[in-house]
């Protein structure tokens, strides 16, 4: 599974947007043995075919800037991303993705 974007140099944790609220310790520490439903989005691959990718951010700030304060999120160790996404259909992880010009979030 590939990773792309312009992430901070080797972040210890990733903050993925999730489909629902994630129960996490009040100190904000990463998930233990819990599972989360991450957000997968379709993107065009180099060959023009559509593929699913997972979104992740290097901290809460870029996630909120891209997706808004109300977006559900979790925190997970970076090294566990590949294993956690196994079987999800995700072909890559986009780290700190930026919104396209004219996107719905930008128009609010």
Alpha-carbon dihedral sign for residues 86, 92, 97, 102? negative
Instruction: Calculate the CA 60 to chain-centre distance.
Output: 11
Structure tokens that stand for 59 in this block: 């901290």
For residues 1 and 81, the model is more confident at 81
Domain boundaries, the chain: 26-93
Q: pLDDT tens across 25-80, in order?
A: 665 555 565 667 888 999 998 899 999 999 999 999 999 999 999 999 888 888 88
- Answer whether 0.75 is exceeded by the pTM: no
């Amino acid at each position: 599974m590939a990773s792309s974007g312009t992430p901070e140099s080797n972040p210890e944790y990733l903050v993925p947007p999730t489909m629902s609220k994630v129960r996490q310790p009040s100190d904000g520490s990463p998930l233990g043995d819990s599972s989360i439903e991450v957000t997968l989005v379709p993107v065009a691959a180099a060959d023009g075919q559509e593929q699913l990718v997972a979104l992740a951010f290097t901290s809460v700030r870029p996630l909120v800037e891209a997706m808004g304060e109300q977006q559900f999120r979790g925190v997970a160790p970076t090294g566990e991303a590949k294993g956690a996404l196994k079987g999800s259909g995700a072909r890559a992880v986009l780290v700190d993705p930026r919104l396209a010009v004219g996107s719905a979030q930008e128009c609010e």
